Homo-oligomer: A and B are copies of this chain.
Amino acid sequence: MTREIQTRRTRQKEAIRAAFLEEDRPLSPDEALVFAQRRADALSIATVYRNISNLVEDKWLTPIQVPGCPVRYEVAGKAHHHHFQCRSCGTVHELEGCDVPNKPHLPRGFKYLDHDFFVYGICAACPK
């Protein structure tokens, strides 16, 4: 059930896209709401959810599922990379490149397809 592309340009939609572009890091729907409301204050969370799923369908956003956290989304199309989450403030940042071996050792009969890698620590903005 692919959505037909008949997109109308709305204040809300633009504000949501702008939030992702300006923050340039994975945002949860709540975070996206807060940032987008700075540009378009009449904006409901339902609209954020609806637009995010459209943008994911259009491959403009990709979901980033940090274990144990609400889903976040980031602008799609970037090179293969992983994510860092600050254990103090919870913010997720993108890491450049990939330090992971291409083919981890798997049990007999298992076929490798891909991987996820998450690093946790303390970000530069948080006090030691």
B-binding residues in A (CB < 8 A): 63-68, 71, 82, 84, 87, 93, 95-97, 99-101, 104-124, 128
Contact = CB atoms under 8 A, between A and B. Distances in A.
24 contacts: A65-B68, A66-B67, A67-B116, A84-B110, A93-B107, A93-B110, A95-B106, A99-B104, A99-B105, A106-B119, A109-B123, A110-B121, A110-B124, A111-B121, A111-B122, A111-B128, A112-B121, A113-B120, A113-B121, A114-B119, A114-B120, A115-B117, A116-B116, A116-B118
Given A109-B124, A110-B121, A122-B111, A95 B99 contact: no
Given A116-B118, A118-B115, A118-B116, A123 B99 contact: no
